[in-house]
Amino acid sequence: MDFALSDEQQMLQDMLARLIREHYGFEQRDRVQRRAPGFSETFRTQLAELGVLAMPIDEAHGGMGGGGVENLVVMQELGRGLCLEPFLESQILGGGLVQALGSEAQREALLPVLAAGELLLAVASEEPRTHYRPEWSETRAERIGDGWQLSGRKSVVFGGQAADEILVVARTAGEPGERNGLSLFRVDPAAEGVQRRAYPTMAGPWACDLVLVGVTLADDALLGCAGAAFEALDHQLGRAMAAQCAEAVGSMQQACELTLEYLKTRRQFGQPIGRFQVLQHRMVDMTTELELATSMAILAACVADEPASAERSRQLVAAQHVVKRAAQFIAEQAVQLHGGIGMTWEYSLAHHARHLVMLGHRFGDDDRHLRVYADLLEAN
């Protein structure tokens, strides 16, 4: 694929890589991950000061106006560093939903502070029975006087354990599985009737489950028109899917570099084990999968901001499937080539392997991707 970063994008990548190298070592990351909120407020402040948090936000609301390629650059470096800060959840997915559905007053109130790092958003769209279908929501919101009353359960809300506001998908009409009738509400996690249980996930980042019991919301808590949130939600999930592909590619790059370095330094029978031809072949297979995944992540980044279409959806789901397959292959091969040390908690490779395997289940598994791709082909 003929693809090259512009001078500005290359500067962004170099700056972020240097910041992570100098201020986000593996030992520091391990300490941060072990305790709530599960990420470094100091590092997030540094990202804000360098304008990284403003990158995905519209220029008219205090952001940098970056698109899919800028998100790719940022997410790739965050993936290389195994960074735990909820950039995808807050800035890309949360900010994207506010831009797509919010009134001008809501954008003015939320986006500038989001770009400045003074607001942390999370998006609660998953439920125990959603299984990768954004149209499946059993959480309901009812009109009560001039406001709304919200009840239901949400699961695995990444970044929700520390979010200042959570954007909750709820049904104001229709039945679970229908696209019409979905709405999006701003919820204060400290409001009466909201319970959240925080925990670290297998991949490293923290998340929370939400229980919502008769939560009273003001009328302006609704983003967009009642019952018409599905299209925007589906489009923004596509942008998040593209960003996650880039994050996985960054983690795969680091896993391959660690493995190559190990093959060069680990000695057996008086020579580096990298001289054994069978291990060279396996390293080549890993590099080939990485190159394929990188090309698909670039493709996803280039179409992520396009208007919704069957072709955009087909390319995004294809990219997610190929990247997931490559991530699992590289994780397994890297651990095998390292031997026992590849599973050691104190070594970063083990965390890249866990991260790569879990990333493949965030926005859909193999069955989901292949079914969606086949349906899109039949529709054409």
The pLDDT of residue 3 is above 90? no
Q: How far is CA 376 from the centre of its chain?
A: 24
Dihedral class, residue 170 (left if φ above 0, else alpha if ψ from -120 to 50, else beta): beta
pLDDT in tens, 206-216: 999 999 999 99
List the one residue out of 268, 379, 233, 377 whose CA is nearest residue 315: 377
pLDDT in tens, 155-166: 999 999 999 999
Across residues 27-42, what is the average pLDDT?
A: 95
Classify each residue of 97-107 as buried b or exposed e, where b means 16 or more C-beta atoms within 10 Å of its C-beta: bbbbbbeeebb
Dig out the tokens for 4 from the structure. 């090259």
pLDDT in tens, 276-316: 999 999 999 999 999 999 999 999 999 999 999 999 999 99
User: Any idea which residue has 């104190």 for tokens?
Assistant: 346
Across residues 213-235, what is the average pLDDT?
A: 97
What is the CB neighbour count within 10 angstroms for residue 202?
A: 10
Residue 1's pLDDT band, with cuts at 50, 70 and 90, is low
- What pLDDT sits at residue 357? 92
- What pLDDT sits at residue 359? 85
- What pLDDT sits at residue 362? 86
pLDDT in tens, 248-283: 999 999 999 999 999 999 999 999 999 999 999 999
DSSP assignment of 127-181 equals -TTTTT-TT----EEEEETTEEEEEEEEEEEETTTT-SEEEEEEESSS-TT-STT
The pLDDT of residue 67 is above 90? yes
- What pLDDT sits at residue 203? 87
Q: Cα-atom radius of gyration of the chain, to the nearest Å?
A: 21
> Pairing between strand 121-124 and 165-171?
parallel
Q: Which residues contact 183 (CB under 8 A, 6 or more apart)?
A: 141, 169, 170, 171, 172, 222, 223, 224, 226, 227, 228, 229
The pLDDT of residue 187 is above 70? yes
Across residues 79-88, what is the average pLDDT?
A: 97
Asked whether the bond before 37 is cis by omega within 30 degrees of 0, the reply is yes
The pLDDT of residue 361 is above 70? yes
Across residues 184-201, what is the average pLDDT?
A: 97
- What pLDDT sits at residue 105? 96
The pLDDT of residue 379 is above 90? no
Dig out the tokens for 135 from the structure. 């149209």
The pLDDT of residue 380 is above 80? no
Q: Are 166 and 124 in contact (CB under 8 A)?
A: yes
Name the 3-class secondary structure at 247: helix
- As to burial, measured by CB atoms within 10 angstroms (0-12 exposed, 13-18 middle, 19+ buried), residue 365 is middle
92 φ, ψ (degrees, to nearest 5): -85, -55
Across residues 136-144, what is the average pLDDT?
A: 96
Work out the mean pLDDT of the chain and round it to a whole number.
96
Tell me the H-state helices in 1-144: 7-23, 26-33, 41-49, 68-80, 87, 95-101, 104-115
